[in-house]
Amino acid sequence: MNLTLPRAARRALTTAVAVAALGALGACSSVTYEATPVPVKTPAKSSAAPAVTPQACDNATQSYNPLPSLPTRAEITDQRMRDILTRGYLRVGVSADTYLFGANDPSTGRLQGFDIDMARAMAKAIFGDPSKVQLRVITAADRLPLLEAGELDLVARNMSMTCDRWQKIAFSAEYYRSGQKVLVGRTLKDAATLSLQDLKGRKVCAPSGTTSLTKLEQVKGPEVVTAPTHTACLVLFQQGKADAITGDDTVLAGLAAQDPNTVVTKAPAITVEPYGLGMNKDDVYLARYVNRVIADLEASGEWKQMYDRWLAGPLGPAPKPPTPVYGRG
């Protein structure tokens, strides 16, 4: 497709995207930040209870029942939670390059986004202070090993809940529902409603080695284009070498926020990606505590405020929060 921006402006925008991506990998948060993966140690077992035996998984979004209400500090007897209270801060693994969900703001040096707000909300509930959180930048591959090793209390990094992952870690209740969608240029005919199936003969980009690429390759019609990352796909799009990009709507929302010439289509998602906060599989009490916080955020309207702050612009009005599924053994 031909962009309406002059060549110089397009080159400047492409450079800005590249700089933002690099900045996300090298800046620090206002609390505590580690730009390199946290070393994996020998898995630590919670002292609160014996190891939890994974139950049969019929629904990956099913989590543990929330606590009836948030207990006071004195009322918490679970040893794992007592250890967190004694430490004085929450350790949360996050992304630094998922724009709008977890990314560095080059102008402030702070990590920000929907997932960062979730992490701070948990710290506020536990300590009464949203700054009592150590944000550790990790890769997607780090998420499970670091939770299994007890190096992190939580992971808030747009992580899909799956039955396979439940065998290794525990999840909160679902706090956001994503799905694979399409980003196209605003000038494309019927841009707001196009689906992958409508892009016959057009070049559609997805990162190599992703489930988004796998799904794209299963659709007849589009010409498949690959790149190392979604940011690299955006560069190809801006250079006129791709007509569309496919991926989770959360990722595409970040790309759309960087390039006003694009729009995330409102066509139905072709996959369902339920996001949950991850934790060590033995931390059942922590999961119940976190589920209480999530339920309270949704009931108070704070969840919607977080959505509006980060996602309403590129994705439209806030949907209803995901319906929680409780009752895990």
Whole-Å CA distances, 175 to 11, 30, 60, 168, 197: 37, 25, 13, 20, 29
Q: Would you say residue 190 has pLDDT above 80?
A: yes
Q: Would you say residue 30 has pLDDT above 90?
A: no
The continuous run of DSSP H or E covering 125 comes out as helix 114-127
End-to-end CA distance of the chain: 53
- Say what the pTM is: 0.77
Same fold, 28-176+275-315 and 180-264: yes
Banded model confidence at residue 50, pLDDT cuts 50, 70, 90: very low
Q: Would you say residue 11 has pLDDT above 80?
A: no
> How far apart (Å, rounded) are the C-alpha atoms in residues 254 and 313?
10
The continuous run of DSSP H or E covering 302 comes out as helix 302-310
Residue range 307-329: mean pLDDT, rounded: 93
Residue reference for tokens 């995901």: 322
At 267, which amino acid appears?
A: A
> How far apart (Å, rounded) are the C-alpha atoms in residues 267 and 252?
13
Res 52: pLDDT: 54
Residue range 260-269: mean pLDDT, rounded: 93
Banded model confidence at residue 209, pLDDT cuts 50, 70, 90: confident
Res 55: pLDDT: 63
Token code pair at residue 159 = 């992580």
Q: Would you say residue 17 has pLDDT above 50?
A: no
Candidates 2.60.40.10, 3.90.1150.10, 3.40.190.10, 3.40.50.170; CATH matching 28-176+275-315:
3.40.190.10
- Range picked from 91-105, 116-130, 219-233 for highest mean pLDDT: 116-130
Domain 180-264: top CATH class: alpha beta
Res 313: pLDDT: 86
Q: Would you say residue 39 has pLDDT above 90?
A: no
- Provide the residue ranges of all domains of the chain, joining segments of one domain with +: 28-176+275-315, 180-264
Q: Would you say residue 35 has pLDDT above 70?
A: no
Banded model confidence at residue 229, pLDDT cuts 50, 70, 90: confident
Sign of the CA dihedral with 137 first, then 142, 144, and 146 last? negative
Specify the higher pLDDT residue, 30 or 130.
130
Q: Would you say residue 248 has pLDDT above 50?
A: yes
